[in-house]
Amino acid sequence: MATLIERVPPMRWTAGLLRRLGLHGRGLVIAVPFLWLLVFFLVPFLVVGKISVSEALIARPPYAPLLEWDGWRLNIIVNIENFRYLWTDSLYINAYFFSIQVAFVSAVIALLIGYPMAYFIARSPEPRRTFLLMMVILPFWTSFLLRVYAWQGFLRSNGVINNTLISMGIIDTPIQMLQTNFAVYLGIVYTYLPFMILPLYANLVKLEESLLEASADLGGRPMATFFYVTLPLSLPGIIGGFMLVFIPAIGEFVIPELLGGPDTLMIGRVLWNEFFSNRDWPVASAVAIAMLVAVVVPIMILRSLQARLTEEK
């Protein structure tokens, strides 16, 4: 028996075991991301969900356990007041709506800037196209924090922009740009603009030139061709890029903290304050769960719309 096992190559024995477990072909391909999501998303989500229905304590950890054994029976203690508290305090409601507003407006601005750039890159000849794509990806080679810190040097009262405008005689006094909502929008659009350009480029580069030529042969002007041919066919890329900008921008913490003012209260800053300043982990976990639910619903709607558009295409 041992001799037979030793004669079987290890790779063939492993493949046979995976096949018996049903992990072969498509099942094996799906199992890898499924396992990744299980370990790094579902398990942390369950832990945060458990803390969100606990009671806050001045202890370590700062929350009460859900299960208590009194010697005779197992008691399950669930506290839903944390979620009810979110809807009774205007701080969290305003932070949620302001975060959605900032994320939506930033995604729209990124779309207006990124679409012409993606279209130009997709219609460029091959050597230039590679160079332009490299320029889009180049900011990722630098630390995210360094890029955001650099904007402080540009936007502060004695920064590059104000000094340049004063030296040119355009303004007499510095313009307050840092610690404003404008700085937050600028930082988010600058940071997430590549996430808008790349999905749009991937969609527009597959657009066949024959469709544009057919529209021109039928008397369509360039503007009409864009709105009736190019734009509808690029809707999957628009939705994909919009989601890649909108979703992370809702929970953004670093950019509002470094570029925004004290009144720039996004949900990411509220979450950080509850965890590390107030040490109220149950309320902070409830904020995280509510934010996730508020994001998942529009994601599912947009994802179904994107799949429908892709099937029609």
pLDDT at 184: 94
147: Cβ contacts below 8 Å, ≥ 6 apart: 139, 190, 191
User: What's the confidence (pLDDT) of residue 4?
Assistant: 44
Q: What is the pLDDT of residues 235-293, one digit of tens each?
A: 889 988 998 999 889 888 899 989 988 888 888 888 888 888 888 888 888 888 888 88
Which whole number is the average pLDDT over 168-186?
Answer: 90
**pLDDT above 90 for 113:** yes
Query: Among 243, 248, 215, 238, which residue's Cα sits nearest to residue 310?
Result: 238
Per domain, the residue ranges of the chain are 2-81, 89-279
Please, what's the b/e burial string for 67-105 (b: 16 or more CB within 10 A of its CB; e: otherwise)? eeeeeeeeeeeebeebbeebeeeeebeebbebbbebbbb
Q: At 24, is the pLDDT very low, low, confident or very high (cuts 50, 70, 90)?
A: low
**What average pLDDT does range 130-153 have in this prediction?**
89
- Tens digits of per-residue pLDDT, 59-111? 777 887 877 777 677 777 788 888 888 888 888 888 888 999 999 999 999 99
pLDDT for position 13: 45
CB-CB contact of 190 with 136 (8 Å): no
Task: Specify the 3-state DSSP secondary structure of 1.
Answer: coil
Does position 8 have pLDDT exceeding 80, yes or no? no
pLDDT at 255: 93
Reported as a single tens digit per residue, the pLDDT across 178-192 is 989 999 999 999 999
pLDDT digits (tens, 9 = 90+) for 196-235: 999 999 999 888 877 777 877 777 787 888 888 888 888 8
Please give the class, per CATH, of domain 89-279: mainly alpha
- For residue 190, the model assigns a pLDDT of 94
What is the pLDDT averaged over residues 9-13?
50
Q: Is the pLDDT of residue 11 over 70?
A: no
Which pLDDT value is given to residue 118?
Answer: 95
What pLDDT score does 278 carry?
Answer: 80
Q: What's residue 186's pLDDT?
A: 94
pLDDT of 82: 83
> What is the percentage of the chain residues whose pLDDT exceeds 90?
21
Count CB neighbours of 243 within 10 A. Answer: 20
